[in-house]
Amino acid sequence: MNEEIAVTGATGQIGRRIATRLVEAGAAPRLLVRGTSRTPSLSPPALPPEIGRGSSLPGAVPVSIGTGYADALAVRGALDGVGTLFLVSGRESADRVSEHRAVVDAAVAAGVRRIVYLSFLGAAPDCTFTFGRDHWHTEQHIRGTGLAFTFLRDSFYASMLPALVGADGALRGPGGDGRVSAVAPDDVADVAAAVLRDPADHDGQTYDVTGPAAITLQEAADELSRRVGRPIRYQPETLEEAYASRAVYGAPEFEVAGWVTSYQAIADGSLSAVSDTVSRVAGHPARSFAEYLDADPDSYSHLR
């Protein structure tokens, strides 16, 4: 790690993990954060206790990007002198691709030489999961800049599955009998940190980052049931039922479509691919969903 690394999404579950790993490896990453006084919380439960939850990470340097990715001037200034940018996708929005293009263009203008982008499994212009299309368009824009790149296409996070369970113990959605190769956030961070430690070794690569097996939503519910002391069930929905049950949230149409198509992508097999990236790049076996739950009981504490 002879060049400066910038990490976006440093307050999120992946970015903060990556930043911690880089500091532990002797780097001083630049952490891009919104606003002028926000200090990242960089300590998920699995990380060392000396880095307390809510604390800043010694050695890391928070730098403001103003109001976010669309603030091109602030992003360009924050990236001055950076060689490698780790880019986490922005929050889902109707213009997320435009925001991604803005930050990529700002990186080019700032002289960044390489982008490591956290994409999504099966990203394509017509993939079932509508948010996955945003990732494909972002990948294409990065390719078009001529910068060196690495794309990490992760599956759904294992932490998402407990979060989908309602207060009544039901995980509802039109997922059918499909399978999802859910990946532990720590495994994603381990892969990303390994790439960032020796980025030139991974230039031009696209890695699928998955768990060690693809599981059904019923199997996920069964694992949760064994831990929370009450039945957790998977309740399949039709597409009509799925859209109707989510209409009560009053969310924008694009967001509801993303929620529903995430289940459709499970149902049609789009998210069932399993790779060896974690073991090959991070150097340890990928954690199963059961192993993830054992390591992070807080992820399902709301179901007890």
pLDDT at 60: 87
DSSP state for residue 144 in the 8-state scheme:
H
Name the residue with tokens 């030139």: 200
pLDDT at 52: 33
Q: How far is CA 83 from CA 120, 159, 235, in A?
A: 24, 31, 48
pLDDT at 38: 46
Cite the DSSP H helix spans in 113-201: 130-145, 160-163, 185-197
- Regions of the chain short of the pLDDT cut 70: 1-2, 36-56
Tokens found for residue 287: 């954690």
Identify the CA nearest to 115 among candidates 212, 187, 192, 26.
192
Non-local (6+) Cβ contacts of 213 within 8 A are 181, 274, 288
Q: Per DSSP, which regions of the chain are E strands?
A: 5-7, 30-33, 61-64, 84-88, 114-120, 148-154, 170-173, 179-180, 205-209, 215-216, 233-236
Classified as helix, coil or strand, 58 is: coil
pLDDT tens digits for range 172-222: 999 999 999 999 999 999 999 999 999 999 999 999 999 999 999 999 999
DSSP state for residue 296 in the 8-state scheme:
-
pLDDT at 219: 98
Identify the CA nearest to 211 among candidates 295, 299, 275.
275
pLDDT at 253: 95
Cite the DSSP H helix spans in 156-216: 160-163, 185-197
- What fold does the segment set 5-155+185-210+273-284 form as a domain? Rossmann fold (3.40.50)
Which residues lie across from 150 on neighbouring strands? Answer: 116, 205
DSSP state for residue 234 in the 8-state scheme:
E
pLDDT tens digits for range 48-59: 333 333 346 777
Query: Can you give the length of the chain in residues?
Result: 304
Give the domain ranges of the chain.
5-155+185-210+273-284
Q: What is the maximal distance between C-alpha atoms in the chain? A: 55
Identify the CA nearest to 194 among candidates 209, 216, 173.
209
DSSP state for residue 157 in the 8-state scheme:
B
Which residues lie across from 179 on neighbouring strands? Answer: 216
Q: What does pTM read for this prediction?
A: 0.92
pLDDT at 61: 87
Tokens found for residue 280: 């090959």
pLDDT at 252: 95
Measured CA to CA, the distance from residue 173 to residue 262 in angstroms comes to 9
pLDDT at 192: 98
